[in-house]
Amino acid sequence: MTYEIEYYAYGEDDRQPAERFDDELERSAPKLLGKLQGVTLRVAQELPRSIGGGLWEKCRGYPDLWEVRTIFAKQLARYIAAVDGQHDPPRMILLAGVAKQTGEPTPQVELARAAKYWSEYQKTRRVSPPEEERTT
């Protein structure tokens, strides 16, 4: 089953934390971003449990959150995501992103923030508007 990949959005201006992370990573580590986006596409095609190699891992202490994980040149990038199985087709919701060095845990503050975003998403089901809507 393939999952749609969507960016969580909030606020009157449709802020998207994971998309802002993409923008920052595009400037600082474009190859790492490209690899993370490729892994995300692969995970969305094979989700939930058939992915090996640590590409899709549960976030400890956060039962609804998952990490899409990749590494490039000793830098790690993570999307913190959740799965909306109530949508048809089901969605992988990208809530936030984290870049870090090998050996560093994902910061608890980022996990807590993503959990808050997931809670808000479950109430609103709000995602980033399509590109054509943002430019008009």
What pTM value is reported for the model? 0.91
Q: What is the pLDDT along the chain (136 residues), one digit of tens a residue?
A: 889 999 999 988 889 999 999 999 999 999 999 999 999 999 999 865 656 678 999 999 999 999 999 999 989 999 999 999 999 999 999 999 999 988 899 999 999 999 999 999 999 999 998 765 544 4
Contact 32, 39 (CB under 8 A): no
- DSSP string over 67-88: EEEEEETTEEEEEEEEEETTSS
Write out the H or E segment, with its range, that includes residue 4: strand 4-7
CA distances in angstroms from 6 to 53, 104, 117, 134, listed in the order given? 23, 27, 13, 15
Residue among 14, 13, 3, 8 at smallest CA distance from 79 = 8
